[in-house]
Amino acid sequence: MTHYNQASKNKHLNSIELLSAYARNPSLELRNQLVECNLGLVRQVAHRISNQCSEPYEDLEQIGYLGLIRAIERFNPQQGCAFSSFTIPYIRGEMLHYLRDKGSVMRIPRRWQELHNKGKKIRKQLTASLKRSPFDWEIAEALMIPLEEWNECQLALQKRLLVSLDATISHNMDCSLSFGDTLPYQHYQAKQRLEEDRLQLQRALGQLEDKTKAAIECVFLNELPRKEAAKQIGISPMTVTRHLKKGIQQLGSLLEPQVA
């Protein structure tokens, strides 16, 4: 047991070293090593999701590696976040996107969507002029399309509207995965990106001179007028303006490499 714990600890330390090295100088070789070190994360998520759907475990595992690679490329060791906590949402998200794309939700051709919208307007116009609800052949004639196409267009749109977040896209004997289950990941990713941006901005602000940082925080983050900011910092409004201009230039230089 002691030997196993020591091996696990060494593997964890090796992964941290590789992540730091990759962040400093990204390369395909380092990325492949990181993938090898974190295969267990992909298998863990693939096993959990495969128990909730009929999709083969092997397919989910392969898709999960895309999420792992994406997480490796976006991870910043300096943020103090555990790599596993950062990565699992990416892996899970790739698998859920894959399941959603394979689901039975219909994709309506743009032409049919346009015909449907035009048909609704024509229906109103014909109802007003005929003093009754128009027949489908009358709407198709006004649209200058065959009746069969108008019927197919209506049927497709009706089926799409019936799909809800509770619609099952994959299931087995014990449990199922709904369309809604595949959606929260996008919201999580958006929140995660905002948090990453916030941390990057905080680190960049920490590298500015005290008064320049105070000017940026007062005016842009706390939304204070420049005169009020000048009083709080103990400088003139004109000096606040100079610090703002200087701070914006410095932040641009500090943030550009991280964005790239």
Q: Is residue 206 helix, strand or coil?
A: coil
The reply to whether CATH 1.10.10 applies to domain 206-259 is yes
Contact 260, 225 (CB under 8 A): no
Measured CA to CA, the distance from residue 18 to residue 192 in angstroms comes to 23
Beta bridge partners of 85: none
pTM equals: 0.43
pLDDT by residue (tens digit) across 140-174? Answer: 899 998 888 888 777 766 655 444 444 454 444 44
Euclidean distance between the first and the last CA atom of the chain, given in angstroms as a whole number: 44
Which CATH topology does 2-104 take? Answer: Four Helix Bundle (Hemerythrin (Met), subunit A) (1.20.120)
What does the radius of gyration of the chain's CA atoms come to, in whole angstroms?
28
pLDDT digits (tens, 9 = 90+) for 115-146: 888 998 999 999 999 888 888 899 989 999 88
- Name the E strands within 11-159: none
Type of residue numbered 202: Q
Q: Of residues 181 and 30, which shows the higher confidence score?
A: 30
The runs of H, that is alpha helices, within 51-209 are 57-74, 83-102, 110-130, 136-143, 147-162, 184-205
> CA–CA separation, 37 vs 223, rounded Å?
46
pLDDT band, residue 88 (cuts 50/70/90): confident
Domains of the chain, residue spans: 2-104, 110-162, 206-259
Reported confidence tier of residue 2, pLDDT bands at 50, 70, 90: very low
pLDDT for position 61: 92
260, two tokens: 């790239």
For the segment 102-111, the average pLDDT, to the nearest whole number, is: 59
